[in-house]
Structure 1
Amino acid sequence: MLSCVENKIYIHIYPDGSTYFKFESTGDSTDVFNNDFIHPQNLKGWNANIEVIEKNDEKNWRMTTEGISMDSILIFQDGKNTTLNYSFKRYKHETWFSSEFGAEIRFQGKQIKDEFPKLYESLISDNPDSLFWLPEAMTILMRKGLNEISPDSISPQQSKRNQRFVNHLRNSFAKIQTLDDMEKFKKDRELFLTDLLKPFRVEPSFPSRLAKAMKKHEAILESTMDLNDDFFQWKILMPGKPVKTNAMEIVGDTLIWKFGLDSLLSESFVLKAESVFYP
C-alpha cells in the first residue's frame, strides 16, 4: 500500500484559449479522501471517477477528475483554509508574428515557518516528536483563539490580559514530560482550560468559547500536517515552444514540477510558464 498520496496533475493549454485539466490522486482511502487537497468540483461538463486498484494483495484508491475550461482564471479553495488553496491563471498576448502564452499556478502558503517555528523544524527534519513542537503549537493556537473571541483584543488592556493567559499556558506546558500528559489536554480541552484559568477572573462560558475557537484554528493546522503524506507532480503543456519557466524539469515540450509539503510551508509557491506560438 502506498505510504502517501500521489497527486498527479496534467494541464494542456491550447492556442484557442481552452485548457484541459486532469487531476489524479492515488493512495489509501484515508489519505485520498481527507480533503487536504481537493479536486475541482461542480464544474459543468467535467468528469469524476473513483476506482479501487488491487495489486499484490494491496488495495489503493484512485480519484480522477478531468475536464476542459474556457476560463482564464480558476480558483480552487474551500473557503475555510482547511485544504490546500490554489489558483490557475493563463493569458495570451498577440504580436504581428506570434502569439505569446503564459500560465501560473499559485498555491497559498501555509505560513508554518513564521507562525509555528518548532513544527516547521520538525517537518523539514522529519522529526515527529510531538513533545518537541506541540506545546509551542498549542500556545500559539490559544493566542489565536483569544484574539478571536475577545472583541477588544487589540486594546492594550486586553492584549496584556491575553498575554498573561498565554504565558500561564506556556508555563503549564513546560511541566509536561510525557505524551500521556499532553493527551489529557487534547482529550478534554474545555476541562483543562477551566482548571488552567482558575487563577484568573473569567466568566463561566469563557473556557468553552476559547476551546471552540482553538479547535477552529487547530483544524487548519491539522489539514496542513495531513499534506505531509502528499506528493505532487504537475505537468503543463504550453502552445508552441517554452521560452521561460521555473519548471524543475522539461521533457520535450512538457514542463514538470515535483514537490511536497516542504515547498508549501512559507509564503505562496508559484509555478510559472511562458511560451511562444508561431501560426
Structure 2
Amino acid sequence: MDFVSRGDSTDVFNEDFPHPFGDPWVTNIETEITDDEKTWVMNTSGLLYGPTAFSSGHSSLVEVAHPIDVRFEKGFFGTHYFVSQFFKGREVFRKYPKFGNSMSSIDNDTTEWISEALYYIGSTAVYDLQKDSTTMINSLLADRMENYIRGYVDRKNFTELYSIEDSSGLFVRDILNPFLDELPSTYELAFQELVDLYSKEMHITGQLRDDQFKFHIFLPGVVITTNADSISGDTLMWTFGLKEFLNDDYILHAESIIYSKKRIQIGIIILLGLVLIIAFFFIKFKR
C-alpha cells in the first residue's frame, strides 16, 4: 500500500493526515520544481496483510485514525481477497455543530462556532478528569465548573474568544481560577493537557477542509463487491474529502476472487455425477 502526499511543505508536513511510521512502512521524500514552484512529495509504502493499525511517529502514542485490513480466504472454488480502509469520523456535529456548519458552507468566515467549541473543549476536559482517581472531584463541584464554563463563553465576545483560542493557557487560567482552592494539585496541568488535546483535534479538522484524498487499491481476480467510485482493470479508485467523514465513519471496502479452474471442473463433474445418480434412481423407481 502507498500513501502519497503532494503540496507545499506546510501542507505535506502538517498533522492533518500523518503518514504511518515504523515496520513495515518505508518513507521517501522528494521535491519537484516546475515554473519556479517547489512541490513536496512524500511517499510511504508497505506490504500489508491482516488488520493493521499504525503509529505516525517515534513519539506518537496514538494510532493513526485510518487503519486498514487486508486478507484473503481460500474457498472451494477460488481464493477471496478482502480490503477495507477505515476513516474514523470526526464527529463534528456531535461535538460542535456550528463549527460543522461553517466547515460545510462555502463561506466559512464566521466566528459563531467559537463559544460552542470552547464549551465542548472545557466541559469534556472536566468530564474526562472525573474518570481519573488523581483528578476526580466532587460531582457538585464538577457541575459548578461546567456551568461556569458555559457562562464564561457566553459572556465573552467573539474577538476575546479568538484570543483565548489562540492561547489556551489563558482560557485554562480563567476557568480554573475561581475553583483553585477546591481542586487537587494535579488538576490544572491535567486540565491544560486535555484542553490542548481537544483544541488540536479541532484544528486538525479545520486543516482537512481543503484536502482531497485519492485511493488506488489493486485487487487480483474478479471484483465481487466494492464501494469504489470507479474501477479500471484490477485497480479500484476512490476520491473523497473531509465531508465524507466530517461526522460519521467512512469505510472503503472491496472484495475480489480468483477462481480455480481445476476446482470448478471438479465441482461440475461432481454435480453431473449427482444428477446422473438421481436420474438413474428416479427412472429405476418409476419403472
Corresponding residue to 1:165 among 145, 149, 157: 145
Partner residue, 2:241: 260
Corresponding residue to 1:271 among 236, 245, 252: 252
Corresponding residue to 1:72 among 50, 55, 72: 50
Q: Deviation at 1:160?
A: 4.2
Q: Deviation at 1:247?
A: 1.0
Partner residue, 1:232: 213
- Give the alignment of 1:117-132 within 5 angstroms: 117-132=97-112
Task: State which structure, 1 or 2, has the greater radius of gyration over its C-alpha atoms.
Answer: 2
Flag the structure with more relative contact order, 1 or 2, with Cα contacts below 8 A and sequence separation at least 6: 1
**Change beyond 3 A, Cα 1:247–1:200:** same
Partner residue, 2:35: 56
SS at match of 1:76: coil
Distance in 2 separating the partners of 1:142 and 1:93: 48
Q: Deviation at 1:188?
A: 4.5
Distance in 2 separating the partners of 1:87 and 1:196: 37
Distance in 2 separating the partners of 1:192 and 1:243: 53
Q: Is the 8 A contact 1:39 1:65 kept in 2?
A: yes
Distance in 2 separating the partners of 1:190 and 1:35: 22
Q: Which has the higher helix share?
A: 2
Partner residue, 1:246: 227
Alignment of 1:86 onto 2:66: yes
- Give the alignment of 1:156-235 within 5 angstroms: 158-179=138-159, 181-196=160-175, 200=179, 202-203=181-182, 209-235=190-216
Distance in 1 separating the partners of 2:131 and 2:51: 36
Show CA shifts across 1:223-255 (max 9, x none).
Answer: 222222321111112111111111111223321
Distance in 2 separating the partners of 1:75 and 1:212: 25
Distance in 2 separating the partners of 1:22 and 1:189: 37
| Percent identity (aligned) | 31
Q: Deviation at 1:192?
A: 4.4
Partner residue, 1:16: none
Q: Which has the higher strand share?
A: 1
Q: TM-score if structure 1 supplies the norm length?
A: 0.78
Partner residue, 2:268: none
**Change beyond 3 A, Cα 1:195–1:270:** closer
**Change beyond 3 A, Cα 1:267–1:202:** farther
Q: Deviation at 1:201?
A: 6.5
Q: How many residues of Structure 1 are paired with residues of Structure 2 in the alignment?
A: 253
Show CA shifts across 1:82-110 (max 9, x none).
Answer: x8511221232323332222111112222
Query: Partner amino acid for 2:21?
Result: Q
Show CA shifts across 1:190-220 (max 9, x none).
Answer: 4444445555564476555533331122222
Q: Runs in 1 of length 4+ with deviation above 6 angstroms? A: none
Q: Deviation at 1:168?
A: 2.6
Partner residue, 1:3: none
Query: Partner amino acid for 1:224?
Result: T
Corresponding residue to 1:106 among 86, 107, 111: 86
